[in-house]
Amino acid sequence: MGVLGIRDFRRLWLADLASQLGSRIDFLAVPLLAVTALGAPVFEVSLLRTAQALPYLVLGLQVGAWCDRIRHRPVLIAADAGRAVLIASVPIAALFGVLGMAQLLAVVFAVGVLGVFFDVAHQTYVPRLLPIERLPEANTRLQTNRSIAAVAGPGLAGVIVQALGTAGALAVDAASYLWSALWLRRIETPDVRPEPRKRRLLREIGEGLRVVRGDRILLTIGAHGAVSSFFQSAHLAVVVVFLARDLGLSPWVIGMLGTASLTGALTAGLTARLLGERIGQARALWGAAVLFGLAYQLYPFTGRGWALACYVLAGFFTSYSVIVLSVFGVSFQQAVTPPELLGRVNAISQTLVFGVVPLGSLLGGTLAGTVGMRATLHIAAAGVLASAAIMVWSPLRKLRDLTPSGRR
């Protein structure tokens, strides 16, 4: 019986699918709302992504320590409900003609705060529902959700934006978070609160940092995630504006481009586990890092007509690589980390990846205003490729598999 045959994991999986689809909608709708309805310049649009990711930089490590003290399911439900209310405030304000950039930035920041709690608690909660040997399959299923959302989300978002407008699309996004919360409420497995004991926040954070620093594989995965995420954020801060303004594409076309390019994520969700069995998890990790960097070089050559194929090909191979990196990196992390430290280690890895996003987004916005958007895309692509060296020149290069003990 597969992990989807386990009722409570299936409920978690359905909640995650709803949340992933909603996130893909606001990923497209929020910057388009800023560009079309509020007339925001490219730097202000980049600030939206900065505001969304800033909470990881400010709160990520603390949230990891807190999540090791508390039950996780109530955190997940409260975070989903809170995000639904916050996102719903945007179309309501737009309906009454009072929406401004300040409110949009505040909402995005608050949603980001709740997202930190949700992401850390969610990744820590999975091992409480399943035994260690089922984690690779479970993470593959969850990454397949990301793949489905990556493929269906942009096209769906483009259609919704075209039909209902950007504000209407965000109303649908709010509903998706409520749907996720309802599925989480149906999970029946007892969520036991860790035994109370005297705690010190800085000492707890330090314990998690020592786990990551003491394992060269965890440190390598985290370092690559941080560097590649920094340059990827510079790319993402400007690419929607580039497609809409420089190339003159409609929201529907932008959405369909995303759907076509992100089929790589769906392919990876279906094949990642087989790839790891065939060539080894360690080889799959560093190979995916190299493919990720090489594929990014196609993005800056995107143009009108047939040159749009560059965007689709880049998206296919980068999205494939991201899923492979995530499946094996997260499974290894969950397997080697002591349960009482898992929240902190998860938070550290996510802080490394998402904490640099505000800085990368600001770099993208600043470069776009000085050297232009296409040149910014070239710089970001070069940085992503350079980050692959962290994986290639690491202990991973000498390994085939990743196992908690005796990596062979």
Give CA 197 to chain center in angstroms. Answer: 33
Q: State whether residue 249 is helix, strand or coil.
A: coil
Among 379, 368, 149, residue whose Cα is nearest residue 258: 149
Among 177, 221, 174, 205, residue whose Cα is nearest residue 328: 221
Integer angstrom CA distances of residue 208 from 115, 118, 163, 339, 394: 20, 19, 47, 11, 22
The pLDDT value given to residue 115:
86
Give CA 322 to chain center in angstroms. Answer: 10
Position 145 pLDDT exceeds 80: no
CB neighbour list of residue 53: distance below 8 Å, 6 or more residues apart: 112, 233, 354, 355, 357, 358, 361
Phi-psi region of 39 (alpha: psi -120 to 50; beta: other; left: phi over 0): left
According to DSSP, residue 242 is labeled I
What average pLDDT does the segment 60-84 reach? 84
Predicted confidence band of residue 231 (pLDDT cuts 50, 70, 90): very high
Distance CA 87, CA 61 (A): 25
Give CA 45 to chain center in angstroms. Answer: 19
Q: What is the pLDDT of residues 375-403, one digit of tens each?
A: 999 999 999 999 999 998 888 888 887 66
Q: What is the pLDDT of residues 24-71, one digit of tens each?
A: 777 667 777 777 767 777 777 777 777 877 887 787 777 777 777 778
- The answer to whether 160 touches 172, Cβ cutoff 8 Å, is yes
What is the residue type of 240?
A: V
Higher pLDDT, 197 or 125: 125
- The answer to whether 289 touches 396, Cβ cutoff 8 Å, is no
Position 140 pLDDT exceeds 80: no
What average pLDDT does the segment 321-330 reach? 86
Q: Where are the domains of the chain?
A: 3-186+201-398
Among 60, 72, 340, residue whose Cα is nearest residue 199: 340
The pLDDT value given to residue 210:
86
The pLDDT value given to residue 6:
84
Among 173, 84, 67, 159, residue whose Cα is nearest residue 120: 67
pLDDT > 70 fraction of the chain, expressed in percent and rounded: 91
The pLDDT value given to residue 97:
79
- Using only the alpha carbons of the chain, give its radius of gyration: 20
Measured N-to-C along each axis, helices 251-261 and 7-36 cross at an angle, to the nearest 10 degrees, of 140
Q: What is the pLDDT of residues 287-323, one digit of tens each?
A: 999 999 999 999 999 988 888 999 999 989 998 998 8
Predicted confidence band of residue 198 (pLDDT cuts 50, 70, 90): low
Size of the chain in residues:
408
Higher pLDDT, 214 or 312: 312
Predicted confidence band of residue 404 (pLDDT cuts 50, 70, 90): low
What average pLDDT does the segment 360-367 reach? 88
Q: Which fold has domain 3-186+201-398?
A: Growth Hormone; Chain: A; (1.20.1250)
- Cα angle vertex 252, ends 249, 257, to 5°? 75
What is the residue type of 209?
A: L
The pLDDT value given to residue 408:
42
